[in-house]
């Protein structure tokens, strides 16, 4: 761990692009969505193909689109740096920030796509082309990851691991499912004002508690909603971003955290995962912290991840997040408002906008810090804290500030 942060405020996000999320976009391809987002982001930044000299991205379920495919499909004439990265989004963003900061490239295109594949949902499995898009072995088991060659119902890799630690959280702290429910309800209330969110109907606590149990103690509403869609970002120097059309958003501090052993079933404890490590490292790198933020985006691929973020990042002590959310609950808006001021996952998060491994959180943070979030806009928002990724092998943290 290092507190060094020489790139602080030196690199900016200067463009964003979206390929809209939907529960099922039907007969499209992952590449089509990634390119739609990429072209939108490049145009948002006022750039053209010849300006892009860095390309980085990837997706989860298919293994994602290779940078060479993006370079080919967009006809990028001169690229000097590229990398293929696995989600969550900070793998992409940290790589891009470092490449820009070191001079490996001047303008990086960052792309992230989600494409529902066979085995991931019933509707996706009904599409023979999506069955062939699955990454890994034919039965859906991951191709990568030692110790992860077995799948549910025999392995805790992925969703079952979060369910198992959610159960241990409940047992260890005497917490209740209502504590998880507040994360889900907050997201749903916020999603109502986000046209990109796929779930916008209000959710009550009674409705949450009646949700179909999937991986006990996690129910349908505790797990992110599968979508098709893509996001893209333009990353360049803060200096250059100031000459571009959109208001720059500065990368103030960024980090990632992983501890041994990172496998779900072997992790020493919630206090010893990558999430608290990312929190400590981000704290050491950032001049701005909890009292300075206007927006909080705890990652919520599973409710327990977001709930634990409030503890790992120091809003409250271990096991106190449920009470903290109750104390900071806005009854009128049916959502979390920290100290009556800071909203949480204003776009509806992974649980209601759609599961995109933090790409949606990053897009919403940039949109808010530009002042372009419409009905969702937090007036005068200047600083956002994001915690993409989960507990184990993909915890990440980010502080963004308006430039």
Asked if 146 interacts with other proteins (CB under 8 A), we say yes
Tell me the two tokens of residue 258.
């992983």
Asked if 131 interacts with other proteins (CB under 8 A), we say no
Opening angle at CA 12, ends 11 and 13, nearest 5: 145
As to burial, measured by CB atoms within 10 angstroms (0-12 exposed, 13-18 middle, 19+ buried), residue 167 is middle
Q: Find the part of the chain contacting other proteins (CB under 8 A) among 44-52, 88-96, 145-153, 273-281.
A: 145-153
Asked if 163 interacts with other proteins (CB under 8 A), we say yes
Tokens 């943290």 appear where?
A: 397
The site string for other proteins over 261-290 (x = CB under 8 A, - otherwise) reads: x--xxx-x----------------------
Out of 137, 210, 323, 326, the residue judged to bind other proteins by CB under 8 A:
137
Cα dist from 366 to 46, 78, 95, 161, 245, whole Å: 16, 27, 18, 31, 14
Tell me the two tokens of residue 298.
């705890």
Q: Find the part of the chain contacting other proteins (CB under 8 A) among 51-59, 72-80, 210-218, 281-289.
A: 210-218
Q: How many CA atoms lie within 13 A of 308 on its CB side?
A: 32
Asked if 215 interacts with other proteins (CB under 8 A), we say yes
Q: Which is nearer to other proteins, 36 or 264 (CB)?
A: 264
Compute, in degrees rounded to 10, the torsion defined by CA atoms 57, 62, 68, 72.
-110
Q: Which is nearer to other proteins, 50 or 171 (CB)?
A: 171
Asked if 164 interacts with other proteins (CB under 8 A), we say yes
Minimum Å gap between C-beta 249 and other proteins is: 39
Number of residues near other proteins (by CB under 8 A): 37
Asked if 369 interacts with other proteins (CB under 8 A), we say no
Out of 140, 158, 207, 211, the residue judged to bind other proteins by CB under 8 A:
140
Cα dist from 105 to 51, 100, 361, whole Å: 10, 5, 25
Out of 42, 79, 110, 160, the residue judged to bind other proteins by CB under 8 A:
160
Q: How many CA atoms lie within 13 A of 315 on its CB side?
A: 27
36-55 residues near other proteins, rule: CB under 8 A: none
Tell me the two tokens of residue 320.
């106190």
Minimum Å gap between C-beta 397 and other proteins is: 25
Cα–Cα distance measured from residue 70 to residue 252, given in angstroms and rounded to the nearest whole number: 28
Q: Which is nearer to other proteins, 92 or 130 (CB)?
A: 130
Asked if 217 interacts with other proteins (CB under 8 A), we say yes
Minimum Å gap between C-beta 151 and other proteins is: 7
In whole angstroms, what separates CA 56 from the centre of its chain? 16
Tell me the two tokens of residue 153.
């119902």
Cα–Cα distance measured from residue 14 to residue 299, given in angstroms and rounded to the nearest whole number: 23
Can you give the binding site for other proteins, defined by CB under 8 A? 119, 137, 139-141, 146-147, 149-156, 160-161, 163-168, 171, 212-218, 260-261, 264-266, 268
């Amino acid at each position: 761990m290092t507190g060094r942060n020489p790139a602080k405020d030196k690199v900016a996000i200067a463009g964003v692009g979206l390929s809209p999320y939907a529960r099922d976009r039907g007969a499209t391809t992952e590449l089509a969505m990634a390119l739609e987002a990429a072209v939108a982001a490049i145009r948002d930044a006022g750039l053209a193909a010849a300006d892009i000299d860095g390309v980085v991205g990837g997706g989860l379920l298919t293994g994602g689109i290779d940078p060479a495919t993006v370079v080919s499909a967009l006809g990028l004439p001169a690229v000097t740096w590229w990398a293929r990265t696995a989600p969550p989004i900070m793998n992409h963003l940290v790589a891009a920030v470092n490449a820009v900061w070191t001079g490996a490239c001047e303008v990086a295109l960052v792309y992230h796509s989600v494409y529902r594949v066979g085995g991931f949902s019933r509707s996706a499995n009904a599409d023979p082309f999506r069955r062939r898009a699955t990454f890994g072995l034919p039965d859906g088991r991951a191709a990568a990851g030692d110790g992860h060659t077995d799948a549910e119902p025999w392995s805790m890799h992925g969703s079952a691991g979060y369910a198992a630690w959610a159960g241990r959280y409940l047992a260890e702290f005497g917490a209740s499912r209502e504590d998880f429910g507040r994360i889900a309800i907050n997201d749903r209330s916020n999603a109502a004002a986000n046209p990109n969110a796929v779930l916008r109907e209000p959710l009550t606590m009674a409705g949450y508690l009646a949700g179909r149990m999937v991986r006990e103690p996690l129910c349908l509403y505790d797990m992110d909603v599968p979508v098709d869609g893509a996001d893209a970002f333009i990353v360049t120097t803060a200096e250059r971003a100031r000459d571009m059309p959109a208001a720059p958003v500065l990368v103030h501090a960024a980090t990632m955290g992983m501890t041994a052993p990172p496998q779900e079933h072997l992790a020493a404890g919630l206090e010893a995962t990558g999430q608290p490590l990312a929190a400590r490292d981000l704290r050491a790198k950032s001049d701005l912290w909890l009292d300075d933020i206007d927006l909080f985006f705890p990652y919520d691929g599973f409710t327990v991840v977001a709930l634990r973020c409030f503890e790992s990042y120091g809003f409250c002590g271990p096991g106190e997040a449920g009470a903290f959310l109750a104390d900071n609950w806005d009854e009128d808006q049916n959502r979390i408002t920290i100290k009556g001021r800071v909203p949480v996952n204003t776009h509806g998060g992974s649980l209601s906008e759609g599961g995109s491994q933090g790409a949606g959180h990053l897009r919403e943070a940039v949109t808010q810090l530009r002042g372009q979030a419409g009905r969702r806009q937090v007036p005068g928002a200047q600083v956002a804290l994001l915690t993409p990724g989960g507990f184990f092998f993909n915890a990440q943290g980010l502080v963004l500030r308006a430039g």
